[in-house]
């Protein structure tokens, strides 16, 4: 603080209330193959419902992948989920492709791939002009999408005067209980009939709704019928007057009189009732734009095949009264340009280009859209790429690489999912140990043996699982369970085997909530598994005696007592306190919390005051952990003995923290001693 140059009072505040903060201990992390969702973009997921919404429901394509984080989430907590996919169609693998909706063919679907939000921003302005919309994310699910756009009032509804079609008009006819309406032309030349048919067909769109019948004293009633197909044999006719347009309809005609009209036909946009009014001119355009231009349009996104909702034709999103004016705003100052509105809020599609006759522009330079009918974009071209069984380990590894930097993302419980690559599937587990566990040193990798080791491998499970473990690194940052569980897949109404490493991580997350990270997640108090029918492999006592010394934690079903995790060993082969997961997680918590607090010591003076301040910061925190049974004793040394003049002159600061961790009980010995009737207990206690 500087000195004053004249008399006065200076008030200052010095904050000595710094504490060791509480830190996250149960954030899960997973990367794998999904059918939907952003690629290589970690997404916070806190429930199975959100998992399905973000990444799609499971199929045979990725069941083991899906149920790993799903099982974890069933125990509570949250999880960062990253979708991995090959997007380049290289190395002999099928790449995941993005579905697109366009008005004509495209030359290269790879140019339409949108992996995630950053990929869209990079590609924006470079999409093929013939493509108007692409699915939000790569995958075959995108093929279920359809976008319907109503550009103006004429697209919303129009009345077609059949009497003025061609030289001698046209007649629409439809029989009772039929789902086909035909429009035939009067006596015209071939050229006239062809031109009339082409002009009339352009005024219809697939999924338009036709108003059949009439009202009034002599009316036959009204029925609304949806068009599902449009075809014409007029072009190329050689017989005068034989041109016919055929309209296939979703509903059959149910009026009491057949339709035969030569006057007029009224058609509506499929979603006319969902928006209530035709698009027109927005208030913003009226006030600030070209008042001669109609700027509004309606956009509807539909689950055409029912892959997202289970019900074909379900409306997913409606964008009503959005504008083609790029500078248009809503009454509350938000953007109303339809590109921005769709890209910022849609969960299913990206905008890529304007329709050729409905271009965007600034409000002052905008012109009305010259579109005579709604435009429907049926999505196609989406592909899932390789399944979880065929995905390259390098593709999976790229997903987990998103968690490599602990400065960028905090994770605690990493699930390996399905064992993939290398000898017996150990390539990805070892990759995670080397590049996440041992590099970050603040998370635990949860691993399950391969499917072949423990499913339908009767009598050989013990040998196979031990062989799997022997291919893994020795590390205190790894945790291996004994296999797979059999579950009911409600999404597909069948039973599946899935790995249990999601459950193991989930037990740790649940233990964090009920106790603390330094409590063992195993045993009958905290180690009960959820959501299973049976175990693929239920090791007996003699087998557990071989599994556990190898660092394999048995999961065991006991009659009448449920299925429990029956071990808490890490993969550390060296005898040490760190060969127990509760000790490893204890030190992760302490190291993370104290290191955060210690950051506020950086650039301070290494003197007695700072060292005392550091000890006063750490001691209460460790006393609290001791009081919560995490440690039995501790000592913090931060004085001249370890901060020598040489340390101080090197601009360093040393704090030595000695910890006696609490140990979980793994072995219980009960001695039952028979005592003679005339003997006092005090005479024999302590003898045996």
Count of Cβ atoms closer than 10 Å to residue 148 Cβ: 25
> Within 13 A of 351's CA, how many CA atoms are on the CB side?
21
| Element holding 301 (H helix, E strand) | strand 296-303
Amino acid 425: pLDDT: 94
Amino acid 670: pLDDT: 81
Burial of 545 from C-beta contacts in 10 A (0-12 / 13-18 / 19+): exposed
Cβ neighbours for 216, distance < 8 A, ≥ 6 positions apart: none
> Within 13 A of 573's CA, how many CA atoms are on the CB side?
7
Amino acid 21: pLDDT: 77
Q: Which residue has the tokens 């700027």?
A: 295
Q: How far apart are CA 279 and CA 295, in angstroms?
A: 8
**CATH number of the 157-272 domain:** 2.40.10
Q: How far apart are CA 72 and CA 28, in angstroms?
A: 8
Amino acid 477: pLDDT: 97
CATH class of 27-84+387-582: alpha beta
**What is the SS3 assignment for 200?**
helix
Q: For residue 364, which of 295, 280, 279 has the smallest C-alpha distance?
A: 295
In the DSSP assignment, the letter for residue 363 is G
Alpha helices of 18-89 — where are they, by DSSP H? 48-55, 63-73
Q: How far is CA 266 from the centre of its chain?
A: 44
Residues in the chain with pLDDT < 70? 1-4, 10, 12, 14-17, 89-94, 103-111, 166-167, 187-189, 233-243, 686-688
Burial of 6 from C-beta contacts in 10 A (0-12 / 13-18 / 19+): exposed
| Element holding 123 (H helix, E strand) | helix 117-123
Amino acid 239: pLDDT: 43
Amino acid 238: pLDDT: 39
Q: How far apart are CA 569 and CA 653, in angstroms?
A: 34
Q: How far apart are CA 75 and CA 444, in angstroms?
A: 17
Beta bridge partners of 158: 267
- The domain limits of the chain are 27-84+387-582, 100-152+279-378, 157-272, 602-688
604: phi then psi, degrees, rounded to nearest 5:
-90, 170
| Element holding 212 (H helix, E strand) | strand 209-214
Q: How far apart are CA 61 and CA 38, in angstroms?
A: 17
Q: How far apart are CA 303 and CA 316, in angstroms?
A: 6
**By the 8 A CB rule, do 32 and 84 touch?**
yes
In the DSSP assignment, the letter for residue 641 is T
Cβ neighbours for 173, distance < 8 A, ≥ 6 positions apart: 181, 182, 184, 258, 259, 260, 261
| Element holding 302 (H helix, E strand) | strand 296-303
Amino acid 681: pLDDT: 80
Count of Cβ atoms closer than 10 Å to residue 685 Cβ: 10
Q: How far apart are CA 245 and CA 227, in angstroms?
A: 12
Q: Are strands 314-323 and 296-303 parallel, antiparallel or unpaired?
A: antiparallel
The DSSP annotation for 585-601 comes to: HHHHHHHHHHHHHHGGG
Q: How far apart are CA 211 and CA 621, in angstroms?
A: 75
Outline where DSSP puts E strands in 26-174. 27-33, 43-45, 78-84, 100-102, 131-135, 145-150, 157-161, 170-174
Q: Which residue has the tokens 């949108």?
A: 114
Sheet holding 259-261, edge to edge: 157-161, 264-268, 209-214, 221-232, 244-249, 180-185, 170-174, 259-261
Q: For residue 529, which of 538, 516, 518, 519 has the smallest C-alpha distance?
A: 538
**What is the SS3 assignment for 298?**
strand
**By the 8 A CB rule, do 235 and 194 touch?**
yes
Amino acid 678: pLDDT: 83
Whole-structure pTM value: 0.88
Residue positions counted in the chain: 688
Q: For residue 206, which of 374, 413, 13, 369 has the smallest C-alpha distance?
A: 374
Model confidence pLDDT, tens digit, residues 422-466: 999 999 999 999 999 999 999 999 999 999 999 999 999 999 999
Q: Are strands 484-489 and 494-499 parallel, antiparallel or unpaired?
A: antiparallel
Q: How far apart are CA 166 and CA 164, in angstroms?
A: 6
Q: How far apart are CA 547 and CA 168, in angstroms?
A: 90
Amino acid 236: pLDDT: 41
608-627 and 581-598 helices, crossing angle to 10°? 150
Asked whether this chain's domains 27-84+387-582 and 157-272 adopt the same fold, the reply is: no
Beta bridge partners of 157: 268
Model confidence pLDDT, tens digit, residues 361-415: 999 999 999 988 899 999 988 888 889 999 999 999 999 999 999 999 999 999 9
């Amino acid at each position: 603080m500087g000195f004053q140059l004249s008399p006065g009072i200076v008030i200052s505040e010095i904050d000595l209330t710094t504490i060791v903060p509480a830190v996250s201990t149960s954030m899960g992390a997973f990367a794998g193959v999904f059918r939907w969702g952003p690629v290589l973009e970690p997404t916070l997921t806190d429930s199975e419902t959100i998992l399905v919404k973000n990444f799609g429901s499971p199929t045979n394509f990725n069941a083991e992948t899906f149920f790993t984080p799903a099982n974890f989430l069933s125990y509570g907590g949250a999880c960062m989920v990253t979708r991995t996919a090959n997007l380049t169609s290289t190395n002999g693998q099928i790449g995941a492709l993005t579905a697109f909706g366009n008005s004509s063919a495209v030359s290269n679907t790879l140019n339409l791939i949108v992996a995630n939000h950053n990929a869209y921003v990079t590609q924006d302005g470079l999409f093929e002009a013939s493509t108007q919309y692409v699915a939000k994310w790569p995958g075959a699910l995108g093929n279920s999408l359809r976008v319907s756009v109503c550009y103006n009032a004429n697209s919303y509804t129009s009345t077609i005067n059949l009497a003025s079609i061609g030289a001698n008009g046209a007649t629409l006819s439809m029989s009772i209980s039929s789902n086909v309406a035909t429009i035939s032309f009067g006596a015209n030349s071939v050229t006239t009939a062809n031109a009339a048919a082409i002009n009339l067909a352009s005024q219809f769109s697939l999924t338009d709704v036709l108003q059949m019948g009439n009202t009034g004293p002599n009316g036959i009633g009204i029925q609304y019928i949806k068009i599902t197909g449009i075809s014409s044999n007029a072009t190329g006719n050689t017989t005068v007057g034989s041109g016919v347009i055929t309209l296939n309809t979703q509903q059959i005609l149910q009026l009491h009189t057949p339709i035969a009209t030569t006057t007029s036909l009224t058609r509506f946009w499929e979603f006319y009732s969902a928006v209530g009014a035709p698009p027109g001119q927005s208030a913003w355009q009226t006030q600030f734009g070209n008042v001669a231009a109609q700027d509004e349009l309606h956009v509807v996104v539909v689950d055409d095949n029912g892959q997202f909702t289970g019900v074909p034709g379900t409306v997913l999103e409606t964008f009503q009264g959005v504008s083609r004016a790029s500078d248009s705003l809503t009454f509350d100052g938000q953007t109303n340009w339809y590109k921005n509105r769709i890209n910022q809020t849609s969960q299913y599609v990206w905008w890529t280009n304007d329709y050729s006759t409905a271009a965007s522009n600034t409000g002052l330079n905008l012109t009305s859209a010259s579109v005579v009918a709604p435009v429907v974009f049926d999505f196609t071209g989406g592909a899932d790429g390789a399944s979880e069984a065929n995905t390259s380990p390098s593709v999976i590894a790229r997903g987990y690489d998103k968690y490599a930097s602990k400065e960028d993302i905090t994770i605690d419980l990493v699930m390996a999912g399905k064992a993939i690559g290398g000898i017996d599937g150990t390539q990805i587990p070892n990759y995670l140990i080397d590049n996440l566990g041992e590099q970050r040193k603040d998370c635990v990798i949860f691993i399950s043996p391969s499917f072949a080791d423990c499913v339908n491998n009767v009598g050989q499970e013990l040998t196979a699982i031990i062989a799997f473990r022997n291919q893994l690194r020795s590390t205190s940052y790894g945790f291996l369970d004994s296999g797979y569980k059999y579950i009911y897949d409600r999404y597909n109404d069948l039973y599946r085997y899935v790995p249990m490493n999601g459950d193991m991580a989930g037990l740790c997350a649940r233990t964090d909530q009920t106790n603390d990270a330094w409590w063992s997640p195993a045993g009958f108090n905290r180690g009960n598994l959820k959501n299973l029918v049976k175990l693929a492999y239920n090791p007996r006592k003699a087998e557990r005696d071989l599994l556990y010394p190898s660092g394999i934690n048995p999961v065991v079903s006991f009659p009448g007592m449920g299925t429990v995790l029956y071990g808490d060993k890490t993969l550390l082969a060296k005898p040490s306190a760190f060969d127990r997961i509760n000790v490893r997680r204890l030190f992760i918590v302490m190291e993370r919390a104290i290191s955060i607090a210690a950051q506020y010591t950086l650039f301070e003076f290494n003197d007695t005051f700072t060292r005392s301040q550091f000890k006063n910061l750490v001691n209460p925190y460790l006393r609290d952990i001791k009081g919560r049974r995490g440690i039995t004793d501790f000592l913090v040394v931060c004085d001249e003995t370890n901060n020598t003049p040489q340390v101080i002159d090197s601009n360093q600061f040393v704090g030595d923290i000695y910890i006696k961790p609490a140990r979980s009980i793994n072995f219980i010995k009960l001695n039952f001693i028979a005592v003679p009737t005339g003997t006092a207990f005090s005479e024999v206690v302590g003898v045996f």
